[in-house]
Chains A and B, each alone.
Chain A
């Protein structure tokens, strides 16, 4: 047994027998070490910035070329596939399917709100046809498309919330578009395109 007397019991060791001193010496006073450990621990807990950020990948279409006739490209897409979500102020959403006299409806970000709207468009909108992403674009498949049009009064949070809902519901296709004054007139007139203002 090596002598590892830490000095703590040194004074008493001389008084008693040698064997007693050796037994005591294995006790190390850890108070200071614990103090230092907890001090450092507290420091690192307080300074730690946990990796808590996520990332939403977003791909925007290239800027529209003025030479391309927008109406022409729009007609190529079967309009019933398109659900337009207009983000209003006060965290409200106006939505409609298609572009020819659609039924204008309203919803919000609540539990039974937006997610059910998106899910029903994805799963019931096609009348039972399989989703294109699931059947590798086979003929007759259902290919729902979502368009987000945030109004000027909406907040950035609303946009992220909608994108997040898309991620949760696995919406296959979506895009962000500008909310134009024509859209405003369109909604105000319950989906009827006013002749001469924006209509074809």
Chain B
């Protein structure tokens, strides 16, 4: 009798417990920062661009430069570069830099740091973005320059023209400015800068030809040659002669094969806008405006493009 009851209970239990089970449906993350959260106090967030809230600001003190007799151009600027390009169709892509300058007469010491490099995307067809880890790797590239980059000691009305500067990402080259980038066929010199186990740096790719979000692994070399008249010490504009080279080192789905072979060509007319930043952008109040703060301030300084 007991056995019969147990069997009946097992049968009823089986009937009630059948159906879908979430055991086979894995979570994709454990933490996040929901709307209205304060990322500085809420430990849970994925630090992606899409998260709401201000960014995490690493503890990066201001460079210890000797400011004695520094000229009026001295300070930190957020620099937006708008690159006109063609990838099948004409499009515009933008980059944000942190530029710290120390002026003595016509001589300017410049520290240039890429904060955000937007990739050439065709919205709705192919959206490409560096992963948060790749953006972190890009921000570790710091370029120092010093020379007579002003045409006059009084910066107002003078032309600011530093030499062309190169940033090479995802490759370990002996001559970073000129050596060929690694390729999918020869990836020996590829460098896993974002430490995710894949060559180069990783790009999140959402393309209409792919059924789900995928990733591309690539190396890049970008350069900019700035030239502009300092019309105002708070903000000034100029022209840019940019270049972009990219080499795809791999992808997670063959659906990206065609997209990986896209060639980016630069069109004439690229420009830059420089805007001095200060206390209003200093989220952590340490006297330094670091890259995450420049990126966070992009929308207020340069418009809705950076609010996306």
Q: Is B one of A's binding partners? A: no
* Chain A positions near chain B (C-beta within 8 angstroms): none
